[in-house]
Chains A and B, each alone.
Chain A
Amino acid sequence: MDEFILIFRHEDASGRVSPEQMQTWMKQTMDWIGGIAAQNKYSGGNGLPFQDARVVRPNNVVTNGPFGEIKETIGGYTIVKADSLDEAVEFAKGCPVLQGEGNSVEVRKIARADGV
């Protein structure tokens, strides 16, 4: 069994959505994660808030947030256990982030300590 990280890319929606919409997204996300956990395939995860974010570049250049060239940026991640990349992709398909046009979930295998 391998671990895969599902990386969510979406727009910073803060200030543009209603509390009701946020509530709905929250429930959808919790149910999605709960569904993975119910299959004993959940390893961890977290949201990455858009505030308190900086990008550090060479020569001590620090910018406010990673958002510049593209609207969609990393908003969170979930780590799942899966027997194959395909299974991990199936988990990713259910991610509520994908309801937004332009959003994406990137699926990446996590390298194992033994390098296999």
Chain B
Amino acid sequence: MMASARKQRPFFTMEHPELLPHLFRTEFRKITAVLGKQLGVEHLEAAEDIASETFLAALETWSYKGIPDNPTAWLYSVAKNRARNYFTRNQLFTDKIAPKLTDSPPDFGEVEIDFSDKNITDSQLQMVFAVCHPSISVEAQIGLVLRILCGFGIDEIANAFLTNKETINKRLFRAKEKLRLEKVAIEFPNEREINSRLETVLMALYLLYNEGYYSESQDRILREDLCLEAMRLTYLLIENPPTNRPAVNALLALMCFHSSRFPARKDEKGETVLYQDQDETRWNQALIAKGGYFLHRASQGNTLSTYHLEAGIAYYHTIKADTNEKWERILQLYNQLLQIAYSPIAALNRTFALSKTNGKPVAIREAEKLQLTDNPYYYTLLGELYTDLDTDKARTNYQTAYALARTETDKKTIQKKIEKL
């Protein structure tokens, strides 16, 4: 009685308000990856459409007939049927029309669509390599990762990038066109290519993580989701022996160390709490330990990537106490990082570390050589360095920083610093 009553419950969302969104989050990407892999890069759009239609079918069916015993299996079987229909239609196309065209779709024959765990994982991994392809821009790579491998909606992606749906739609459409034209195969790169292809993938995942960590988007949950997705995909690479490389472990370590501060870096009002003002008892020690574990694994072998150095820097930031040793290590890691990969932000952070080890006057001399005069953080750093030494100069620099600041969060932070002078 109970069971049948459950099955006949008309509106499942009342009892399991989270079920469909949850399934969407976990299964949409699996369906898209498996179908995309099977259909090939020229049919990525179709794979996405079939996955979307499958969820629409679930909404329509389950709302009236109740949730099936195994919702995931239900989704897979509907997706399979729809994919078969698509294959058949294409088969018709292949047989009747394509002979007249040159760019014909593949011959699907008797199709077996495999939703085994192994094929899901393999398809996702191969898809990561396909969409993080050097022929498309890194913004497009991240967009496709979010859409195809994370199941994000176009509006969510637009929100994360602080742009509109049309821009994202266009960007993804063009990227898919490019992948089709380049005839990018959804497969593991061969031994010869894997290092350079993996570099592109890691850069996309690194930037996806940063997008979440530093995004100006007001949606905190969305931002943390971006970070978690980047971590999940990085972990997918670690679980796969051929891609379980030191740099991948270093990247995950970096992400773990940064993520440990999530609970402490925003106050109740959603405003940023600066590192030195954070309550370190709210830092997630389990994540810090995980970061240590992956950093240890990353140090096996003799590669030293930028992710190793950045993970090292992030590790020392998980120690709150302002010891000379901590800042000396951070300084030397930045010195090394700048030698292999210069960036203005690393140059500024390096100079901040220098002020902690060699004193503010030395750091001011070094800072003024940087001449990053269009960078608000350059003036924020100078403001910081002149604080307690020359209040007028500190204020002037902060005011320049304020004028150059690009985000409200940064403006607020600078304003607070000026008030404290």
Residues of A within 8 A of B (CB): 27, 30-31, 33-35, 37-40, 42
Contacts and interface: CB of A to CB of B under 8 A. Distances in A.
B366 A35 contact: yes
A35 B332 CA distance: 11
Interface string B294-338: 000000000000000000000000000000000010011011101
B350 A34 contact: yes
B369 interface: yes
A37 B341 CA distance: 9
Contacts of B93: none
A39 B348 CA distance: 10
B335 A37 contact: yes
A38 B332 contact: no
Interface string B341-381: 01000110011001000100000001001110000000000
A78 B332 CA distance: 17
Contact of B358 (A31, A33, A40): A31
Contact of A33 (B339, B342, B346, B370): B339
Contact of A39 (B328, B336, B369): B369
A25 to B, nearest CB: 14
Contact of A30 (B332, B346, B366, B370): B332
Contacts of B334: 34
B339 A42 contact: yes
B331 A37 contact: no
A30 B328 CA distance: 11
15 contacts: A27-B328, A27-B332, A30-B335, A30-B336, A31-B331, A31-B354, A34-B331, A34-B332, A34-B338, A37-B335, A38-B338, A38-B369, A39-B370, A42-B339, A42-B342
Contact of B347 (A27, A30, A31, A40): A40
A37 B339 contact: yes
Interface of B: 328, 331-332, 334-336, 338-339, 342, 346-347, 350-351, 354, 358, 366, 369-371
Nearest to A26: B332
Nearest to A41: B342
Nearest to B348: A38
A14 to B, nearest CB: 22
Contacts of B354: 31, 34
A96 to B, nearest CB: 13
Contacts of A40: 342, 347
Nearest to B343: A40
> Per DSSP, are chain A's interface residues mostly helix, strand or loop, or mixed?
helix
B370 A34 contact: no
A26 to B, nearest CB: 9
Given A39-B347, A39-B370, A40-B347, A34 B335 contact: yes
Contacts of A30: 332, 335-336
Contacts of A38: 338, 342, 346-347, 350-351, 366, 369-370
A40 B341 CA distance: 9
B17 to A, nearest CB: 52
B172 to A, nearest CB: 34
B347 A33 contact: no
Given A38-B347, A38-B350, A40-B342, A33 B369 contact: no
A37 B358 contact: no
A31 B370 contact: no
A33 B336 CA distance: 9
A40 B371 CA distance: 11
Contacts of B366: 35, 38
Contacts of B369: 35, 38-39
A40 B351 CA distance: 13
B59 to A, nearest CB: 54
A47 B339 CA distance: 15
Given A27-B332, A38-B346, A40-B347, 15 more contacts: A30-B335, A31-B335, A31-B354, A34-B331, A34-B334, A34-B335, A34-B336, A34-B338, A34-B339, A37-B335, A37-B339, A38-B338, A38-B347, A39-B370, A42-B339
